[in-house]
Amino acid sequence: MNYSLEILRNCTFCVELSANRTNVVVGDGAIDNPKVVFVGEAPGKNEDIQSKPFVGRSGQVLRQVLDALGYSKDDYYITNVVKCRPPKNRDPKLEEAKNCFPYLKLQLEAMTPEVICSLGTHATKYLISNGDFENISKRSISASRGNLIDIKLGDKEYKLFPTYHPAATIYNRSLRDTFVADLKKLKEIYQPI
């Protein structure tokens, strides 16, 4: 398969996802050298309709926390590993994540963020495994979160900072507190006081 950001909006590499989507959800935010790129798993229903990532309930949580912590909208970009909504919001299949991962690599190469913040187990395991889908990490999100981890995608090196997916924090106060503390720490990493 040939990958380029030009063909992304018309991509049909995943037959089921491309047949059922309304839009390819490429990403949202500062594309010119953002300090942080947030990476979730896949778009949901609202994201598919609006062609924008993280605009549903969990997106509201993420964006509210970023605003409350003083993140400038010029500092970050938000995207997902899988750019098309899985039908009925099922988990993306490994094959779909593998198909779509090269687009994320191209986006990261173009933006060269200081830090990649993976949101949740799935985005974290693909990134922490350096995009090696034959050897996916089994490390839990709770063991990885809140720390900077060196990763390498192709010949590019990045700093990865995993944290929980905001959806996991909606009904869990303790996870929400940890999520907020992680994003506070992340801001201090890229923007020391």
Q: Counting contacts by CB under 6 A, is residue 3 touching ligand SF4? A: no
Nearer to ligand SF4, 61 or 100 (CB): 100
Whether 99 and 88 have beta carbons less than 8 Å apart is answered as no
| Closest among 135, 31, 25 to 82, alpha carbons compared | 25
Token pair recorded at residue 14: 């995943």
CA angle 55, 188, 162 (to 5 degrees): 55
Is-contact 126 136, C-beta < 8 A? yes
Which position among 55, 100, 123, 153 is part of the footprint of ligand SF4 (CB under 6 A)? 100
Report the site for ligand SF4 in 14-43 (rule: CB under 6 A). 14, 17-18, 24
104 lines the binding site for ligand SF4 (CB under 6 A): no
Concatenated DSSP letters for 23-90? -----EE--SS-SEEEEES---HHHHHHT-SS-SHHHHHHHHHHHHTT--TTSEEEEESS-SPPGGGP
Q: Considering beta carbons, is residue 41 or 75 the nearer one to ligand SF4?
A: 41
- The answer to the question of residue 99 lying near ligand SF4 (CB under 6 A) is yes
Using the minimum distance from each CB to ligand SF4, give the nearer residue, 105 or 184.
105
Residues 111-140 that bind ligand SF4 (CB under 6 A): none
CA distance 125 to 1: 23
Binding to ligand SF4, residues 57-86 (CB under 6 A): 82-84
Binding mask 138-167 for ligand SF4 (x = CB under 6 A): ------------------------------
Residues of this chain that interact with ligand SF4 (CB under 6 A) are 8, 11-14, 17-18, 24, 82-84, 96, 99-100
